[in-house]
Structure 1
Amino acid sequence: MKNHHFLLVIVCLLSIKGPLTSTSAGTGIPPNDLILSTEDYSIFEDSSTPIVPVIKPTNAGTLQRCDYNACREKQTPCEILSTSLGCLCPGFTLHNQRPEPPSLSSVSWNGSAVVVWWCAPNSYITSYVVTVEGGEKQTLRADQRRAALSQIDHKAEVCVVAVNDAGDSARSCMEYQPSSNSLALTVGLIGGTLGFLLLILLAVLLCRRRRQKKEEARQV
């Protein structure tokens, strides 16, 4: 009986040792389906490196200023240019705020009238009002930058006011000096007087010439 038990123990040990030796092949190396290649280990190496997001640069260029000149007449408003072209406008005051005063650049005689020039403020404008001290008053469109006034033959203050729905701006004024206008009038008067005198002189000479011819005819 003891021998039978001993043989059973040996058979059990051999049955357990067999699969172990067959899997290890006596080298201690695990089977092929359990071996990891160097490529498999790269996943552990890559996991230690930080992941940096890649930001692709956009092709959108830098915004440019709109082709808008505050002193130029009859041009498209800057807010419309900005909406349609995506360009930049200078800072404008809101519609519910009184406009800033325009910049009056010149008041001068151009040979036929007194012309007033101004530049628009950075504000929402509906119209302009031009006034002459003790004289006329004109209302002009928001896209206009000049006004032709009637003849001013004396020193006077000329003012321009910007207007919108919230009210009027402060006045922008300049004193008009009629020196060039007076000079032109003086020259015109002198020229007219000289021409009139020449006509009278020619008339007198013609009359004398006729009288001489009549006297010569009588003597013959």
Structure 2
Amino acid sequence: MTIVRVPALMLCLLLIRPSSSSSSSEVDPDYNPDYTPPSSPPKTHHPFSGKRCDYSPCREGQVACPVLADSTGCLCPGFTLQDAAPEAPSLTSVSWNGSDVVASWCAPNSYVTGYTVTVRQTLTGKEERLTLGQDKRSGVLGHVDHVSEVCVVAVNDAGQSPETASCLPYEPRDSSLPLKAGLIGGALGLLMLVLLGVLLWRHRRQRKQQSGVSMRDAEDRPR
């Protein structure tokens, strides 16, 4: 009984071993033993230069000062952090420019992601809002034909500056003034033409009178 079982066991082992060896010998065709995963490039840390950044809070279209500080090592004024609501910007002017009203301001020393300009009519309380990016320092408000209050607030993820901390009143220009000026100018021009015509008529009349007198004198002279 023992002599028969031993060869059967060995036969089973021989049948199993090639299958296991063949499976272990299979290799992924895309496998490359020399491949190493790329490493991310090291971050460049610029040393602190001690110089102020080339940044003006009133200049439009420039890179934010914290970004300049990270990239060049320059020094920004005391900016508040991202987790704090921004301070109020400084609204410098609300003026008529061509055919539109334009509001201009200077940025606060804060982390800012955008600005909101509000035009609030004084009599009715009606509001119109304009949302602008963090690099803007002016906003075109269009044609404002009512006495209004213009306010600008700075915004970030933590909140916004006080709504009434940076406001200026605006009184629309009298749209009839150019028409009145044109009418007055036209009337003055017409009056000048009339006076000039009268002077020319009188001058010609005097010349005719003088020539008539001269002819009569010539006829009265003895021949």
Alignment partner of 2:110 out of 123, 139, 142: 123
Aligned-pair distance for 1:192? 6.8
TM-score (norm 1): 0.56
Structure 2 unmatched ranges of 5 or more: 1-46, 121-125, 188-223
Match of residue 113 from structure 1: 100
Tell me the C-alpha RMSD between the 2 structures: 2.3
Alignment partner of 2:179 out of 189, 192, 195: 189
The residue type paired with residue 88 of structure 1 is L
**SS state of the match for residue 127, structure 2?**
coil
Number of positions where the alignment pairs a residue of Structure 1 with one of Structure 2: 134
**SS state of the match for residue 136, structure 1?**
strand
The residue type paired with residue 92 of structure 1 is F
Taking a change above 3 Å as real, the CA distance of residues 64 and 151 of structure 1, as seen in their structure-2 partners, is same
Q: Distance in 2 between matches of 1:135 and 1:112?
A: 20
TM-score (norm 2): 0.55
**Pairing of 1:1-220 with structure 2 (within 5 A):** 63-133=50-120, 134-171=126-163, 172-178=166-172, 181-182=173-174, 185-190=175-180
* Greater Rg by CA: 1
Taking a change above 3 Å as real, the CA distance of residues 63 and 112 of structure 1, as seen in their structure-2 partners, is same
Taking a change above 3 Å as real, the CA distance of residues 174 and 61 of structure 1, as seen in their structure-2 partners, is closer
Aligned-pair distance for 1:150? 1.7
Q: Distance in 2 between matches of 1:61 and 1:146?
A: 32
Tell me which protein shows more helix as a share of its residues: 1
**SS state of the match for residue 83, structure 1?**
helix
Taking a change above 3 Å as real, the CA distance of residues 62 and 80 of structure 1, as seen in their structure-2 partners, is closer
After superposition, give the CA deviation of every residue in 1:129-149 in whole Å (9 maximum; x if it has no partner). Answer: 001002321000000000011
Identity %: 54
Aligned-pair distance for 1:90? 0.5
